[in-house]
Amino acid sequence: MDLDSLYQEIILDHYKNPHHAGLRDPFEAEVHHVNPTCGDEVTLRVHLSGTGSDAVVSDVSYDAEGCSISQAAASVMTDLVIGKPVGEALAVHESFLTLMQGRGGVEPDEDVLEDAIAFAGVAKFPARVKCALLSWMAWKDATSQVVDRPTAEETP
Amino acid sequence: MTADTASLQRPVHGLLDGLDLIRADFPILSRTLADGHPLVYLDSANTSQKPQVVIDAMVDHLERHNANVARAMHQLGAESTAGFEGGRDKVAAFLNAPSRDEVLFTKNASEAINLVANTLAWARGPLQVGEGDEVLITEMEHHSNIVPWQLLTQRTGATLRWFGLTDDGRLDLSDIDDLITERTKVVSLTWVSNMLGTVNPVAEITRRAHEVGALVLVDAAQAVPQLPVDLASMDDASRPDFLVFTGHKVTGPTGIGVLWGRRAVLEQLPPFLGGGEMIATVAMERSTYAGIPHRFEAGTPPIVEAVGLGAAVDYLAAIGMRNVRAHEEAITGYALDGLASIKGLRVLGPLEAADRGGAISFEIDGLHPHDVSQVLDSRGIAVRAGHHCAKPAHKRFRVQSSTRMSSYLYTTPAEIDALVDGLEHTKKYFKVA
């Protein structure tokens, strides 16, 4: 069993020094996700600027409790999505999801996933895939809530 | 790996005689895992491993005696019925139940608790739980002894209350007079905690509950595997009304659980699931029901599982539950000593082996339980990481999750040594001081 393929240095670095950790204002949506099998939890806030197709991910802040994989995944995810247009960030999300669900058979695209390619090894450990996806799913949920929310003009 | 290798390091008293022979009864224990590591199985509170005699009994039943029970009039039907009901006799003998008809087979311990919680809501007369009544549980329960009572009280308007815990992981009985009152209808508690390992004073609490006329259910999922149980010898006031456990934690198969209940109580409860086998006669307008135990066993029961469970409890009885208990206590004491040697490790629950069962949950500063169990697994060591279906108890100790090792009659001191070495290795791997 290749433990080092799971615990890449990049993952351990993010685990020890997580980026963008903590909950911040302003935000338009806050979600709380748990992994029911192990109890890992994340509270995550999303702040978007602009509306519609111009919306940009201005900030993602979070308070996460969990293992090295779930903590590092939250850190790497914020690096990847903050500053990107929502559509582009969702495409990165899709790419990460494909990598995680590929059982180790998907070759990651470093141009898209950057540090997140370190999670390629996690895909070979089925029990840990949910750890890596916890904060990504929380981000997508929170972002969708903001994007799908009727704007002030549309509200009857 | 033998018992002797470790006893050279430190003497361990109370281990089972012929531990190597007992280990040889369990084929899986000789498995090697990835990278050639021998299996070190320390997850028996989750599920126990199975001896050859259980596997053989189930295979023999399927190969030679398979038929449905109680309704097939042919020879195989008779043999299968004898095997199934023989399983009930063996379980009754193992518990020293006052009557074999008081032993009901369910899917698992959870279903056994749900059976009681549901039928108490549906009962009419003195057993019915309704508005104004109270159900009392404890903060150290497994989720399966919490959620069914939440459902019952939410559906009936009754109130759920619970014993809190002391800092050293025992039941806080200081407010017992406030908790057990004439409003108390049911008290349901675990005998041995699956997380903290605590052995609770179930006889004393049962006596107090009976004084106010409450029914008592004992969740014995962790107790029956490791403590001698002698229902008939308990005095009537301290004998619970229900006792539940599951087959797969007593070296038997999954898919079968046991509900022992007092005949007088079971006979007052309405049916749980409807179907074949649980009836006396059925007309289109209405049906009448079979007597116990079959009244509560609708549909084709877990037949080969009952055969396997019978073989399992016979196996444990042959070794002797007092010997099994002494072995668990010896291994648990050895493990508590070993874990105490690891800097930054904190055991949750009582620290004396005599007061606890063989499940030991712990946390280590700077390490998450998932990462601990992952590194241990890479060395062939199987433990459990998470909340062990006891989230409220974890919350009580301000812990999100923990790592749990749990031993059984086949566990050796050398396996505990492997765990302690593995934990030190894990700390190095994650560069934790």
Residue A39 has pLDDT above 80, yes or no: no
Q: Do A3 and B371 touch (CB under 8 A)?
A: no
The answer to whether B98 faces chain A, any CB pair under 8 Å, is no
Q: For the segment B293-312, what is each residue's pLDDT rounded down to a tens digit?
A: 999 999 999 999 999 999 99
User: Interface of chain A against chain B, CB under 8 Å?
Assistant: 1, 3, 6-7, 12, 37-41, 65-69, 71, 125, 128, 131
Q: For the segment A7-31, what is each residue's pLDDT rounded down to a tens digit?
A: 988 999 999 999 999 999 999 999 9
Residue B32: closest CA among B275, B381, B383, B348: B381
Q: Do B429 and A6 touch (CB under 8 A)?
A: no
For chain A, the straight-line distance linking the first and the last C-alpha, in angstroms and rounded, comes to 59
d(CA B188, CA B343): 37
Number of A to B CB contacts under 8 A, please give it.
47
Is the entire prediction scored with pTM above 0.80? Answer: yes
How many residues are there in chain A? 156
DSSP states of B359-381: EEEEEETTB-HHHHHHHHHTTTE
Sheet holding B384-386, edge to edge: B345-348, B359-364, B402-406, B384-386
**Closest CB to A38 among B375, B377, B385:** B385
Provide the ipTM. Answer: 0.84
Q: Do B386 and A1 touch (CB under 8 A)?
A: no
Q: Nearest chain B residue to A40 by CA: give it.
A: B400
User: Helix A86-100 and helix A126-148: axis angle, to 10°?
Assistant: 160
Catalytic residue among B140, B389, B409, B414: B389
Gap from A18 CA to chain B (nearest CA, Å): 14
pLDDT of B1:
43
Residue A150 has pLDDT above 90, yes or no: no
Cβ A134 vs Cβ A73: under 8 Å:
yes
What confidence tier does A5 reach under pLDDT thresholds 50, 70, 90? confident
pLDDT of B84:
97
User: Helix A68-81 and helix A9-16: axis angle, to 10°?
Assistant: 90
Backbone angles phi, psi at B361, to 5 degrees: -100, 145
d(CA B58, CA B35): 32
pLDDT of A76:
94
The answer to whether B425 faces chain A, any CB pair under 8 Å, is no
Gap from A3 CA to chain B (nearest CA, Å): 7
d(CA B429, CA B419): 15
The answer to whether B394 faces chain A, any CB pair under 8 Å, is yes
Q: Do B370 and A3 touch (CB under 8 A)?
A: no
d(CA B318, CA B22): 12
The answer to whether B196 is a known catalytic residue is no
Count other C-beta atoms under 10 Å from residue B117's C-beta.
Answer: 25
d(CA B201, CA B193): 12
Count other C-beta atoms under 10 Å from residue B8's C-beta.
Answer: 9
Q: Do B387 and A131 touch (CB under 8 A)?
A: no
Q: Do A67 and B386 touch (CB under 8 A)?
A: no
**Closest CB to A38 among B370, B378, B430:** B370
Q: Do A66 and B368 touch (CB under 8 A)?
A: yes
The answer to whether B378 faces chain A, any CB pair under 8 Å, is yes
Q: Do B429 and A40 touch (CB under 8 A)?
A: no
Gap from A65 CA to chain B (nearest CA, Å): 8
d(CA A60, CA A139): 8
pLDDT of A36:
80
pLDDT of B16:
96
Contacts of A37 in chain B (CB under 8 A): 386
Interface of B with A in 28-47 (CB under 8 A): 34-35
d(CA A126, CA B86): 41
Choose, out of B371, B429, B432, the residue to mutate when testing the contact with A (most A CBs < 10 Å): B371
Cβ B141 vs Cβ B118: under 8 Å:
no
A129-133, Cβ contacts within 8 angstroms, sequence gap of 24 or more: A129/A100, A129/A101, A130/A35, A130/A37, A130/A38, A131/A35, A131/A38, A131/A40, A131/A66, A131/A67, A131/A69, A131/A70, A131/A73, A131/B370, A132/A69, A132/A70, A132/A73, A132/A100, A133/A73, A133/A97, A133/A100
Gap from A118 CA to chain B (nearest CA, Å): 16
Contacts of B370 in chain A (CB under 8 A): 38, 40, 66-69, 128, 131
Q: Do B401 and A3 touch (CB under 8 A)?
A: no
pLDDT of A152:
56
Q: Can you list the residues of chain B whose pLDDT is less than 50? A: 1-8
CA B44 to chain centre: 10
Residue B277: strand pairing partners: none
Residue B152 burial class via C-beta count within 10 angstroms: exposed 0-12, middle 13-18, buried 19 and up? buried
- H helix or E strand, kind and range, residue B406: strand B402-406
Gap from A20 CA to chain B (nearest CA, Å): 20
Contacts of B387 in chain A (CB under 8 A): 38-39
